[in-house]
Amino acid sequence: MKVLVLNCGSSTLKFQLVETDAASERAATDRSLARGVVDGIGANAVLKLDVSARGEKPVREGVDAKDVRAAVERSLALVCRGDLGLASEPGEIEAVGHRVVHGGERFRESVLIDDGVVEGIEACFDMAPLHNPANLRGYRAAREILPGVPHVAVFDTSFHQRMPREAFFYGLPYVLYERYGIRRYGFHGTSHRYVSRRLAQILGRPADDPSLRLVTLHLGNGCSGAAIRGGTSIDTSMGFSPLEGLLMGTRSGDVDPAALLHVVTREELSPAEANALLNKHSGLLGLSGRSGDMRHLLEAEAEGDDRARLAIEVFTYRVKKCVAAYFGVLGGIDGLAFAGGIGENAPSIRARSLEGLEALGIRLDEERNDAARGAEREISPEGARCRVFAIPTNEELLIARDTCRIVSGRKPD
């Protein structure tokens, strides 16, 4: 089955064409035929298409994409170019999978989109005002262009919807949960689900083995950790929004609410300004004063920049605390995986994040760790009690698999 995967943001559309039968993750029959992105929707948009999997040169072109529909149309036209050998016509695309950030408590798994599902996505607009409306615009545009094709929603939050209540409640009046759904939801669910299943497969264990204890770390511009037992997320670091938890590129992560209230009062910030402070001007960028990009900070640290070093130290310290906490939550860790741009490509960050956890059975092999950059590799020594890996995430493939299974009448993993 050829599945078009769409991830629509406010001014960006990411797309990938995947061929899968989703019969078995062990069968290795999945193929990514092409992936691309349209940046700058609304003005001066640029489309980039990577077809290197077929030995073709990448495509880069300016496009007239005044809105999401135009971006989807142009992307589809390029994917369906017969000379690229992908899909010779839109009719060859048998299903469309859509990434949706927030599904609230209603959506515990991926679903075929109908009017009721659309209403459910709209009901979460207040909790994901930057993401859900954009995700829904992508769906509506694709639905108009491909009206006879089934469309499936795959939610970032659904993987974490089986967390026990002691893990997702805040210490706030219960009535706020009843009125407004104030609780921890967790995000990056598609990445944590993909990586944890791949990790279980590498370890030779069924993903749903109730004795299997895994920790996955998605470290990129956004960062989160997840504690997974028997294939189920039982805790995760992000909360009501993607702001909670680990230090990130421009997000603060955990902060004492009283500190924020103090700053808001002293600086006379509006809610919008406070939101921008926490989400756009904090994290690695805020601490270093120069960049939210870990690559730049590592270079600056090597040149003697103490603020860059501080940002990196806070970042790795918080990852270390997350892993240690999940050891306690799980009662031990059988496997740990790093994913995301930083997790997959920064050996020194992996090493610094796990340094000092040897008493928990978590160790790295220096040579293996240094060699693991952008590829799937074990980075723990032979015989380690907890096996550690770098595993490149593939959220689009997971979305395609879910879409294929649902359209085929099979339940998603």
Q: For this structure, is 402 an active site residue?
A: no
Query: Out of 64, 83, 114, 156, which one is annotated catalytic?
Result: 156
- Give the integer Cα–Cα distance in Å for 280 and 324: 28
- Nearest CA to 339 out of 216, 203, 244, 214 is that of 216
Residue 389 DSSP class: E
Q: Is the dihedral of CA 324, 327, 333, 337 positive or negative?
A: negative
What residue spans of 68-158 are helical by DSSP H? 68-79, 115-123, 132-145
- Give the integer Cα–Cα distance in Å for 373 and 186: 27
- Give the integer Cα–Cα distance in Å for 413 and 401: 9
Residue 174 CB partners (closer than 8 Å, separation 6+): none
- Give the integer Cα–Cα distance in Å for 286 and 214: 32
- Give the integer Cα–Cα distance in Å for 359 and 209: 25
Residue 95 DSSP class: E
Q: Are 18 and 31 in contact (CB under 8 A)?
A: yes
- CB count in 10 Å sphere of residue 331: 8
**Beta strands per DSSP E along 122-249:** 151-155, 213-219, 223-229, 232-236
Residue 398 CB partners (closer than 8 Å, separation 6+): 154, 190, 193, 194
> In residues, how long is the chain?
413
- Give the integer Cα–Cα distance in Å for 86 and 189: 29
Strand partners, 15: 6, 36
- Nearest CA to 250 out of 173, 315, 174 is that of 315
Q: What share of residues in the chain are helix, strand, coil (percent, to 5)? A: 40, 20, 40
Q: Is the dihedral of CA 352, 355, 360, 365 positive or negative?
A: positive
| Cα separations in angstroms, 218 against 18, 22, 31, 175 | 23, 24, 23, 33
Active-site residue numbers? Answer: 156
